[in-house]
Amino acid sequence: QVQLVESGGGLVQAGGSLRLSCAASGSTSSINTSGWYRQAPGKQRELVAVISSGGRTDYASSVKGRFTISRDNAKDTVYLQMNSLKPEDTAVYYCYASNYLAYWGQGTQVTVSS
């Protein structure tokens, strides 16, 4: 079992920055992929960024060049640095981790005002 706890969401003006954190506990050595998804009101949950255990990353086209995913293996924590935020980035952001099962955090709200 893996437990995930997100932090770092909030309200920011367009053009601003936020950093989300996702702390994992439990069987963290079994995790092979971590990432962030988001869900805006009335929309489906969508992939934002993923990072493999080897450090390979991938991003949604809408955030490429603005967001950076990283991980600190010593702290079992994954980060999402979000720069140049836009109102359309407003959503609940969910941390994700997988081994042979998928695990989700409780979500953290990010609101970008215009």
Query: In this predicted structure, what is the pLDDT of residue 29?
Result: 84
Rounded mean pLDDT, 56-68: 97
Which pLDDT band holds residue 114 (cuts at 50, 70, 90)?
very high
CB 27 within 8 A of CB 39: no
Rounded mean pLDDT, 48-74: 96
- The residue that leads in pLDDT, 50 or 100, is 50
Which pLDDT band holds residue 87 (cuts at 50, 70, 90)?
very high
Could you read off the pLDDT of 14-41 as tens digits, one per residue?
Answer: 999 999 999 999 988 888 999 999 999 9
Place of tokens 């990072």: 51
Query: In this predicted structure, what is the pLDDT of residue 30?
Result: 86
